[in-house]
C-alpha cells in the first residue's frame, strides 16, 4: 500500500480495514455461541432450564390441525388461521413436547420464534413432502427442537 498511497494514509486505511474486519468477525461469531432471548430464529431458541414458558400455536394451513401437549392436554382442534395458547404451566422440566397433525394427513412445516423472553410461538404451515414436522420438543436444558 505504501507505494501507491502516502504512508500516513496507508496506515490509517490498514487500521480502519483491520478494525472493520475484527468488528465483523466479533459481531457474527459470539452471536452464534450465545442463545437468543428475544426475536430469535428457529435454530437459536433456548430457554433457561426450569423457566415457565408461554406457548402460542398458530395454524397457517387451510385445514384443521390438532395439537396436543404430551402428558398435559387433550388434543385441541385449530381451525385455519386460529391461534391458541397451550397450557400456561408449560415448562422445560421435565422434557416437554407438543405434537400436532393435520386432519387430512398432509405434511406440515413448523416455524418457531421467540417474540418475548418467556414466549415460544409455533407457526404450523403446509409442508412440502411427507412426513413433515410432527412435534416441538423443549428439552431439560432449555433447547427447543423440531421433529
Of residues 59, 79, 82, 57, the one with CA closest to residue 69: 57
User: Regarding the domain delimited by 42-146, which CATH topology (the fold level of the hierarchy) does it fall under?
Assistant: Immunoglobulin-like (2.60.40)
The verdict on pTM exceeding 0.85 is: no
**Domain limits of the chain?**
1-34, 42-146
Residue 6: predicted pLDDT: 54
The DSSP secondary-structure symbol of 49 reads T
Contacts (Cβ under 8 Å, ≥6 apart) of 140 = 49, 92, 93, 94, 95
* Cα(44)–Cα(38) distance, integer angstroms: 10
pLDDT at position 22 is 38
If you search the block for the grid coordinates 420464534, which residue do you land on?
113
CB-hemisphere CA count at 13 Å for 75?
A: 11
User: 18, exposed or middle or buried, with CB in 10 Å at 0-12, 13-18, 19+?
Assistant: exposed
List the pLDDT tens digit at each of the 147 positions of the chain. 445 445 544 444 444 444 333 343 343 333 343 456 666 666 778 888 878 888 999 999 999 999 998 877 789 999 999 999 987 666 665 677 899 999 889 999 999 998 888 889 999 999 988 889 999 988 888 888 899
Tell which residue, 101, 109, 118, has the closest CA to residue 55. 118
Amino acid at each position: 500500500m505504501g507505494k501507491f498511497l502516502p504512508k500516513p494514509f496507508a496506515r490509517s486505511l490498514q487500521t480502519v480495514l483491520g478494525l472493520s474486519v475484527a468488528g465483523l468477525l466479533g459481531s457474527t461469531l459470539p452471536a452464534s455461541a450465545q442463545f437468543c432471548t428475544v426475536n430469535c430464529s428457529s435454530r437459536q431458541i433456548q430457554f433457561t432450564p426450569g423457566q415457565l414458558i408461554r406457548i402460542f400455536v398458530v395454524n397457517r394451513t387451510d385445514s384443521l390441525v390438532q395439537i396436543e401437549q404430551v402428558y398435559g392436554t387433550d388434543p385441541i382442534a385449530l381451525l385455519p388461521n386460529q391461534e391458541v395458547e397451550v397450557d400456561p404451566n408449560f415448562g422445560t422440566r421435565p422434557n416437554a413436547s407438543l405434537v400436532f397433525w393435520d386432519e387430512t394427513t398432509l405434511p406440515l412445516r413448523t416455524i418457531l420464534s421467540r417474540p418475548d423472553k418467556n414466549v415460544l410461538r409455533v407457526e404450523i404451515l403446509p409442508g412440502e413432502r411427507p412426513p413433515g414436522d410432527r412435534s416441538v420438543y423443549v428439552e431439560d436444558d432449555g433447547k427447543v427442537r423440531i421433529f
